[in-house]
Structure 1
Amino acid sequence: MVNVAISVLLWFSAIGCGLLAGLYFAFSTFIMRALGRTGAEAGATAMNTINVEILRSAFMPLFLGATASSAILALIALLRWGEPSSLSMFLGGLLYVVGMFGVTMVFNVPLNTKLSKAGSGNLDAVWRNYLDVWTRWNHVRTLTSTAASSLFIAAIAAG
């Protein structure tokens, strides 16, 4: 029964991390560039709207669920250290929780808050900074989510 639960967590994490990696990849490769071309007011308005909508969407259960399952898998890996899948499970969980969730909370969310509170007087400067810094940290989320998904797949294969 325990192995079935771990298998379910691994599959959920692999798929969840992969889906979120794809979303972050889209933002990193074309969405932010497109918003950057619309001008500060239009781009900031669009991004603020996205940030409100994303909280009400299926993104949030997947975001939180993949984070929780990744953290649980990292803990299970420590408890079952030495098993063929433990290193991949641990590294996948650690990468995802720190590199995706941690980066989101420490960097991307505060930037979203700053953008939502920006007044029209300093919007150009805030928007330019937002495009540069938010996207840079989003690249980190893309890479760590992709790596975590790959590591969970490796753990499935090893199991």
Structure 2
Amino acid sequence: MLVLALVTLVLHGALAGLFYTFSMSVMPGLNDIDTGQAEAAMRSINRKILNPWLFVVFLGSPLAALAAGILADNPAALWFFAAAAVNAVGSFLVTMAINVPMNNALLAGTMSWKDYAPRWTRWNTVRAVACVASLALAGVGVAGL
């Protein structure tokens, strides 16, 4: 159980760091270059980020927290369930409903960088905050084991 709980913590930390990095450095950096270059760079990033390592972290975080909650037989279970729920809504749902459609629009050329970057970054920051919150919730769960 402890190993699963620690894996849960690491996965949440990795996802929080990924989203944080985009909001705090990648997007501001892209905003400082020519719009066409920024769009091309983001299209490349969006293609390259779709790899097995992303899916392990992105899908693994809420699933590991859910599994830890099921296996924990004490009050820690509630913290893991809360981590799974916050992650599922704040990361998975936001990604699928907002960020991915925007990525697709940028790729298709139907959304300009001027419209894309501020909105995408705002919602990415929501994902970062949700993942930091779910990381903290998982951390409390680990401490309660």
The number of equivalent residue pairs is: 145
Counterpart Cα distance in 1 of 2:68 and 2:104: 31
Deviations 1:30-81 (A, max 9, x none): 110110111221001000000111113522222222232234345x28x95x
Q: Which of 127, 131, 134 is the aligned partner of 1:141?
A: 127
Higher gyration radius (CA): 1
Say whether residues 1:10 and 2:1 are aligned partners: no
Counterpart Cα distance in 2 of 1:98 and 1:46: 28
Native 8 Å contact 2:102 2:116 kept in 1? yes
Corresponding residue for residue 43 of structure 2? 48
Deviations 1:1-42 (A, max 9, x none): xxx2xx333211211111111111111111101101112210
* C-alpha RMSD of the superposition: 1.9
Native 8 Å contact 1:22 1:142 kept in 2? yes
TM-score of the superposed pair, with normalisation by structure 1: 0.83
Corresponding residue for residue 39 of structure 1? 34
Structure 2: gaps spanning 5 or more residues = none
AA aligned to 1:51 is N
Native 8 Å contact 1:73 1:93 kept in 2? no
The alignment-based identity, stated in percent, is 32
Corresponding residue for residue 128 of structure 1? 114
Native 8 Å contact 1:108 1:138 kept in 2? yes
87 and 56 in structure 1: CA distance in 2 versus 1, 3 angstrom threshold: closer
**Counterpart of 1:135 in 2: which secondary structure?**
helix
TM-score of the superposed pair, with normalisation by structure 2: 0.90
